[in-house]
Amino acid sequence: MFDIRKHPFDRAHYCMEVGGEAMIFHCHHYLNYLLRSILDADYIDSRPFLIGSAADAVYGQLSQLCQGLPPEDAKKMAASVYKTFGYGLIDLSGMTEEGVVLSTVKSFFSKTWPMKFGRSDKPVDYYTSGFLAAAYAVIYGRPLSQVHVEQSSCMACGDACNTHVVRPGPGNFAVYPPKNPTRYGEQPHTDTSWAPQAIITQAFTGAHEQLVGNEEGYIPAFGVYLARNQSDYVNRLQFEFKRALRDVAGEYGEKLGTELLLESGHACGFFTYGGVMTSEEWQAVVKPHLRTREDWIRGLAALINTMGWGCHVAVELSPERAVFRNYNDFEDLSYMRMYGRADKPVPTATSGGYSGLMHLVYSTDLVHGEIVDTEEGFRQLRRAKAKYKARMRKSIASGDGYLEVEISL
């Protein structure tokens, strides 16, 4: 029922919207690192925002996509969206005004968490809990504050299936105020004078139409599992996590949160970018344009400019230091939609991704065919003496025209 082709990529701003929500791709490495970082901080009460972040973004999106649909068609639309975005399979046919007890054996988080960390001692599929709460609220016209949701079994814990219980009642997750409209920047981009950039970006601009859930509801691509996320869902997780740590431990808590989030971005850069640069698509479309290690970085930036994260530009490049800019950075835009102006730069996933990319290109022999995007490869790289650090110099959310990040040894 849901057709991603009806939602074209915004070539002017390097972004994509579905049902009023900005959409981005993330890999299972990043999403699980982020989730574990939050869950490991067991001295904060993270459950309300783990579910609430998903519920808020999905509620706004499904409210548009299901507008005017009768309940049975709205159920099909919601299930189709969930599958298309790569989160697995859900059957909403049994949902009524009294709620639903829903079981599934296809869950992105419950499948990929054990691939990263082994068995979990607690359920991990908070996204699906939030998604189901939002779907129920939209279909039956209830406010999110009057929906109760629990996950009672989880395959990541060794259970045979995931079970979620949704029912009317006092809400048990965070509900957020309405968001601000998106404010795109129109500032001219820095010209890198690298001729193949436009060719590569054009070649992959339509890729989002092929990156949809398969018969199991997953998107295996580039050697990872991808999920098409509501940008504000992922970013609210980051921002609320830092806020919770700051409430507990002041400036130290906020600094700790920033470092943990940068590490999640670093893992994404290492695994996802490593998968991209060893993929058949890279070999066929990008590699013929590459002559130097710096070209590998420029080529990767040109490709990921089609993933909804804004427009990445490498301004300066060397093995010791690089400067990257991102116009309409997805984390900045999310922050401004949800919170307004920031008093300091906020994009941790983007910044960590840049440092991961520098590690890949300059600290490994990936450019000559070495396969490094493994768990052991990541551990070895993090133990290496040469460690790239990210420093956010400018941020759109804090009043600048673009995000600027310096990566150096």
How confident is the model at residue 382, as a pLDDT? Answer: 66
Q: Say if residue 290 is in the same domain as residue 362.
A: yes
- Burial of residue 264 (CB within 10 Å: 0-12, 13-18, 19+) is buried
Mean pLDDT of all residues in 124-144: 98
pLDDT at residue 2 greater than cutoff 90: yes
Q: Say if residue 158 is in the same domain as residue 217.
A: no
How confident is the model at residue 200, as a pLDDT? Answer: 92
Q: Say if residue 56 is in the same domain as residue 164.
A: yes
Domain annotation covers residue 249: no
Q: Which range of residues forms the domain containing residue 100? A: 14-168
Residue 367 · residue 361 · CB < 8 Å: yes
Q: Say if residue 18 is in the same domain as residue 158.
A: yes
Name residue 88's amino acid: G
Model's pTM, two decimal places? 0.95
Number of neighbours of residue 404 by Cβ within 10 angstroms: 21
Burial 178-212 (b: 16+ CB within 10 A, else e): ebeebebbeeeeeebebebbeebbebbeeebeebb
Residue 33 · residue 356 · CB < 8 Å: no
Residue 24 tokens, joined = 């981005």
Residue 51 · residue 131 · CB < 8 Å: no
Q: Say if residue 312 is in the same domain as residue 354.
A: yes
pLDDT at residue 255 greater than cutoff 70: yes
Residue 167 tokens, joined = 């029912």
Q: Per DSSP, which regions of 97-239 are E strands?
A: 100-104, 147-153, 162-168, 219-221, 224-230
The domain that contains 371 carries what CATH number? 3.30.1380
How confident is the model at residue 209, as a pLDDT? Answer: 87
Q: Which of residues 128, 150, 168 is at a domain's end?
A: 168
How confident is the model at residue 387, as a pLDDT? Answer: 80
Residue 143 · residue 63 · CB < 8 Å: no
Domain annotation covers residue 378: yes
Domain annotation covers residue 251: no
- Give the model's confidence band at 207: pLDDT under 50 very low, under 70 low, under 90 confident, else very high: confident
Q: Say if residue 208 is in the same domain as residue 161.
A: no
pLDDT at residue 373 greater than cutoff 70: no
Q: What is the pLDDT of residues 75-102, one digit of tens each?
A: 999 999 999 999 999 999 999 999 999 9
Q: What is the pLDDT of residues 293-338, one digit of tens each?
A: 999 999 999 999 999 999 999 999 999 999 999 999 999 999 999 9
DSSP-assigned letter for residue 282: I
Domain annotation covers residue 351: yes
How confident is the model at residue 385, as a pLDDT? Answer: 61
Domain annotation covers residue 362: yes
Q: Say if residue 201 is in the same domain as residue 348.
A: yes
Q: Say if residue 28 is in the same domain as residue 106.
A: yes
Cite the DSSP H helix spans in 141-230: 196-204
Q: Say if residue 148 is in the same domain as residue 206.
A: no
Residue 41 Cα distances to 47, 128, 130, 152, angstroms: 11, 21, 20, 22
Q: Say if residue 208 is in the same domain as residue 74.
A: no
Closest to 65 (Cα-Cα) out of 10, 3, 127, 145: 3
Domain annotation covers residue 217: yes
Q: Say if residue 104 is in the same domain as residue 205.
A: no
- Give the model's confidence band at 370: pLDDT under 50 very low, under 70 low, under 90 confident, else very high: confident
Q: Per DSSP, which regions of 177-310 are E strands?
A: 219-221, 224-230
The domain that contains 49 carries what CATH number? 3.30.1380.20
One DSSP character per residue, 300-366 reads HHHHHTTTTS-EEEEEEE-SSEEEEEEET-HHHHHHHHHT---SS---HHHHHHHHHHHHHHHHS-G
Domain annotation covers residue 179: no
Mean pLDDT of all residues in 188-202: 85
Domain annotation covers residue 61: yes
Q: What is the pLDDT of residues 3-53, one digit of tens each?
A: 999 999 999 999 999 999 999 999 999 999 999 999 999 999 999 999 999
How confident is the model at residue 129, as a pLDDT? Answer: 98
Q: Say if residue 162 is in the same domain as residue 201.
A: no
Number of neighbours of residue 112 by Cβ within 10 angstroms: 22
User: How many structural domains compose the chain?
Assistant: 2
